[in-house]
Amino acid sequence: MRKSKALLFEMGRSGRQGYSLPSCDVPEKPLDELLPQKMQRSEPPDMPELSEVEVIRHYTELSTRNFGVDTGFYPLGSCTMKYNPKVNEEVAALPGFACLHPCQPEETVQGALELYYNMEQRLKELTGMERFTMQPSAGAHGELTGLMVIQAYHRHRGDHKRNKVLIPVTAHGTNPATVTMAGYEVVQLPADERGNVDLEALKEAVDDTTSALMLTNPSTLGLFEEEITEMARVVHDKGGLLYYDGANLNAIMGYARPGDMGFDVVHLNIHKTLSTPHGGGGPGSGPVGVKERLIPFLPVPLVDKKGEQFYFDYDLPDSIGKVQSFYGNFGVVVKAYNYVCMMGAEGLKQVSTDAVLNSNYLASLLQKTYTIPYDRLRKHEFVVSAKPEKKKGAGAGDIAKALLDRGFHPPTVYFPLIVDEALMTEPNDTESKETLDAYAQAMEEIAKDIDKDAEKVAAGPHYTVVGRLDEVRAVRNPVLRWEKE
Amino acid sequence: MGGKHYLPLTDEDRREMLSTIGVESIEDLFSDIPSEVRLQKELDLPPALSELEAVRHLNSLAAKNKHLNNCTSFMGAGVYDHFIPAVIKHVTGRSEFYTSYTPYQPEISQGILQAIFEYQTMICQLTGMDVANASMYDGGTAVAEGAIMGCGSTRRSKALVSRSVSPFYRAVLKNYFSSRGLDLEEIPLKDGHTDFSKLEEMVDDQVASVVLQQPNFFGLAEDLDGVADIIHNHNAVLVMSVDPLSLTLLQAPADYGADIVVGEGQSLGVPPSFGGPLLGIMAARQKFVRQMPGRIAGETVDSEGNRGFVLTLQTREQHIRREKASSNICSNEALVALAAAVYMAALGPKGMREVAEQCLQKANYAREKITALSGFEPAFPGFNFKEFALSIPGKPEELNKKLLQKDILGGVDAAPFYPELENTMLFAVTEKRTREEIDTLVRELEGWK
Ligand SMILES: Cc1ncc(COP(=O)(O)O)c(C=O)c1O
């Protein structure tokens, strides 16, 4: 049944309320005595007045119009939409974590500092890096922090001409955007026919103006960079540094570590790899780890231990400073820490094993019907090209909509850019074989439907609460807020 | 092995799947990782814990902390102990919301998209701005990105920031600016407020953004009459950092001429969580929308004319525009924005006003009572919203130690951020504090030193 849902602003009635507050128990003064009239708001904001029941029904109905990992299979490539353990939510909500003020004296937050400290030890082992900051609030924020650290390192050595950062053509959009934010120029590297970064192009591009190479490994094609050691040597030889975008770490935990591949700076997306949920778009957390020579430049404060006491270390004279007001998304780190505690070394390795197994398995099933460029082992994800289907009249975006009708969240579409009509598929470690079989079957049916009646497929989705939404209209005639008629 | 309950594949599944793939063993699936970078050992991590053991472990860490539920807090400095109605966690706890991600597929993401659209609308209603995004990481990054937006729209590369803006935000701003090669200068203080005569001297045709805060870091309401004109005369942009909760009581930023409004949204029903996740709010006048970072939901229709919502104006964003994007932000604080939306929906304009008025009354009651004690003086003259700075007869650290013995989390020491403000402390008093709690604080302060 198709229908739109009333907005909050179309509900409620003046005089209703959805809250109850104790009455003010201090002697009150006339408002104008406390606040000059000209500083006061003249008109109340035109916001709805709703009872609690209306609020809950509204959001409950909205939630039924939303698809999460708990709803079903969510192979959104590069996003690692694995199951989010329920217990994560419970521990993060403990008042001893959720109700901490960031300015509390250190002696009152020893448990929180210990958690940060423990988490850092585990992330170091997982990645082969030497120090971590938890301050970045997401992956992209980690990238920016990492590039700032690299920049500070070069500047500190009096090396001011390094104004370029190299990134492969397969890089996630945040990589080039971050490069600009850090005041650098982007140099894009092509891929070779195996899907690796073109080594010859890299050699040509690197020089004494290269600040860093940013790399995701495995790449967004789901392929491991086979020449990684040589790439690291080439960049290091010219004085550049290697930055690791850890969005895809779910593929290699316990099998390989960025620190051992030659990376100098790493960020992790712990909302992905370490199972904290994605929250409809966030919050995430993007801890950044570095090798020894970059530690002095990390944001302040770091968390350290003296005897049995944990403390914030602000004594980093060469630090870049701060990237978030306080110490990062602590609440998210709590969840990731809980996950790491439960998984242990063997469990985390099994996660990567199953993520890679599921990916290769699903690719094998889909290969019968679809084109998957770069015929080699894949890590946690693979990219289908729906170019042939597009020729028949229904491309990647249409296949995605057809998947909606079959109860699946589609893969990431039209990314990475070097694959035409890309469907970037990441099945994850938390999915069963039955789910993958059902998805493969759905994809097969969609292929048949395209052969039969591509136009119908291209007109989908047919069974969702709203039909295909007109995104062009939303751009041409932007309506970005509700307004009274 | 740990975490078996999250990993549905059985050994038999794995065998069947390997044979479908056409390889012999799991090892074969990893043969593309060159041996020189293969980890030659097992990860050295503490033994895996069962769910029960993990909960015990995390409980024991949490139990080592004092917190706002077992202490009485007067700490603020940008993060406050406000009342959070129960409805919020029941909405954000619906896993259709919290286990979803960025709504790239709008037809199955109408829930979060509509909630974001409504959030944007309410932020606009509070600020008087035309557009709002959903969302930035926190107040600090929102301030930094707001100032950068001003640079983008004016094609200038310098900002001025008042020293009355939170030092936490200024630290982030400074870092963002220096990394990008933009210039930043600080406008000095005068009696705890922005020195507007200095602002007038400093602002010129090179300046892109002027960043101010209302109420400022010391909890003081700045007199913004005519300030925007000074800035606009040089075609610069006024970037205002605000506490959204204050806006049912204080003048809407649009009314005093703000161009871009940013701030920390934690006061809207968000637990402090040791400083994160928080909520960066950002709103602006229509003409800045193309420079705005982050996600924006817009209204449209489906193939049958039904109203629906999509992420829009995405050519601003990194996944489309790459190095030319307005920002690199991707994951944001969407679930926190949802919490704020539920807060605003539940409280409504009257409830938020009531909360704001109680903050104002209680903070002023506390300020008056404390400054009646000998040795405690207001650090600055002026009008306080829910926080005030006091000069005290000793070290803030020592006072906090004493208060802690009574399970009171005292104030925030100003000196680390303002070296000239020795023995100065910020106290925040929200609607949650009772008269009895305030009176207890006053009794504890009495006769200290
Ligand atoms: C490869 C890659 N890099 C970086 C990011 C950015 O991470 P975040 O969204 O946490 O900022 C993502 C995900 O969105 C990604 O897939």
Q: Where are the domains of chain B?
A: 72-83+349-445, 86-342
pLDDT (0 to 100) of residue A338: 98
Is the C-beta atom of A268 inside 6 A of ligand 1? Answer: no
**Residue A217 CB–ligand 1 contact under 6 Å:** no
What spacing in Å lies between the alpha carbon of A139 and ligand 1's midpoint? 5
- Predicted local confidence at residue A2, as pLDDT: 87
Q: Please give the Cα distance from B443 to B437 (Å, whole number).
A: 10
Q: At what angle do helices A110-127 and A330-367 cross, to 10 degrees?
A: 30
How far apart are alpha carbons B325 and A137 in whole angstroms?
19
- Kindly give the distance from the C-alpha atom of residue B321 to the centroid of ligand 1, in angstroms, as a whole number: 15
End-to-end CA distance of chain A: 27
| B:177-206 residues touching chain A, CB 8 A cutoff | 179-181
Q: Is the CB of A245 under 6 A from ligand 1?
A: yes
Tell me which of 3.90.1150.10, 3.10.20.30, 3.40.50.1820, 3.40.50.300 is the CATH number of domain B72-83+349-445.
Answer: 3.90.1150.10
For chain A, give every residue range classified as CATH 3.90.1150.10.
Answer: 344-471
Give the residue ranges of chain B where pLDDT is below 70.
Answer: none
Nearest protein CA to atom 9 of ligand 1, as residue: B331
Smallest CA-to-CA distance from B129 within B237, B226, B42, B18 is with B237
Continuous segment of H or E residues that includes residue A444:
helix A433-458
DSSP string, B17-57: HHHHHT-S-HHHHTTTS-GGGB--S----PPP--HHHHHHH
R_g of chain B computed on alpha carbons: 25
- The pLDDT value given to residue A379: 98
Q: What is the distance in A from the centroid of ligand 1 to the CA of A131? A: 21
Q: Do A181 and B4 touch (CB under 8 A)?
A: no
Amino acid present at A459: A
A360 touches chain B (CB under 8 A): yes
Query: Please, are residues B281 and B129 in contact by the beta-carbon 8 Å criterion?
Result: no
Beta B307-311 vs A131-133: how paired, if at all?
A: unpaired
Of B59, B126, B302, the CB nearest to A466: B302
Where are the strands (E) in B63-156, listed by range?
A: 72-73, 131-132
Query: In Å, how far is B152's CA from the nearest CA of chain A?
Result: 12
- A344-471, CATH topology level: Aspartate Aminotransferase, domain 1 (3.90.1150)
Q: What is the DSSP string of A136-172?
A: -SSHHHHHHHHHHHHHHHHHHTT-----EEEEETT--
Residue to mutate, B330, B332, B333, B335, ligand 1, most ligand atoms under 8 Å from C-beta: B330
Q: Considering just the CA atoms, what is the radius of gyration of chain A in Å?
A: 25
Which residues of chain A have a CB within 8 Å of the CB of B349? 44-47, 49
Q: CB-based burial of residue A255 (10 Å sphere; 0-12 exposed, 13-18 middle, 19+ buried)?
A: buried
Residues on chain A touching B105 (C-beta within 8 angstroms): 67, 400, 404, 409-410
Instruction: Measure CA A16 to chain center.
Output: 39
B176–A181 C-beta distance less than 8 A: yes
Ligand 1: which residue has its CA nearest to atom 7? Answer: A139
Other CB atoms within 10 Å distance of the CB of residue A123: 25
Is there a contact between B289 and A480 if contact means CB atoms under 8 Å apart? yes
Interface test with B, best of A466, A468, A470, A484 (most B CBs within 10 A): A466
* Whether B175 and A433 lie within 8 Å, measured CB to CB: no
CB of A139 closer than 6 angstroms to any ligand 1 atom:
yes
Q: Is the shortest distance between the CB of A336 and ligand 1 below 6 Å?
A: no
Crossing angle for the helix pair A174-181 and B167-180, to the nearest 10 degrees? 100
The alpha-carbon gap from B84 to the nearest alpha carbon of chain A, in Å, equals 10
- Say whether B65 sits in a helix, a strand or coil: strand
- For residue B239, which of B181, B282, B302, B180 has the smallest C-alpha distance? B282
Are residues A181 and B309, on separate chains, in Cβ contact within 8 Å? Answer: no
Quick check: B8 contacting A, CB < 8 Å? yes
Pick among 3.30.360.10, 1.10.10.10, 3.90.110.10, 3.40.640.10: CATH of B86-342: 3.40.640.10
List, in order, residues 6 or more apart from A158 with CB less than 8 Å away: none
Our mutation pick for probing the ligand 1 site, out of A78, A329, A383, A424, counting the most ligand atoms within 8 A of Cβ, is A78
Q: What is the CATH number of domain A87-343?
A: 3.40.640.10
Query: How is B400-448 classified by DSSP, letter by letter?
Result: HHHHHTTTEE--EESTTT-TT-TTEEEEE--TT--HHHHHHHHHHHTT-
Q: Do A140 and B409 touch (CB under 8 A)?
A: no
For residue B342, list chain A residues with Cβ-Cβ distance below 8 A: 55, 59
Locate CATH 3.40.640.10 in chain A: 87-343
pLDDT along chain A (485 residues), means of 10: 92 95 97 96 95 98 98 98 98 98 97 98 98 98 98 97 97 96 97 96 98 97 97 98 97 98 98 97 98 98 97 97 98 98 98 98 98 96 98 98 98 96 98 98 98 97 96 96 92
- Kindly report the number of other CB atoms within 10 A of residue B273's CB atom: 28
Peptide bond preceding A22 in cis form (omega within 30 of 0):
no
Shortest Cα distance, chain B CAs vs residue A451, angstroms: 23
Task: Check if A245 contacts B (Cβ < 8 Å).
Answer: no
Q: Report the alpha-carbon distance of residue A357 to residue A431 in Å, rounded.
A: 11
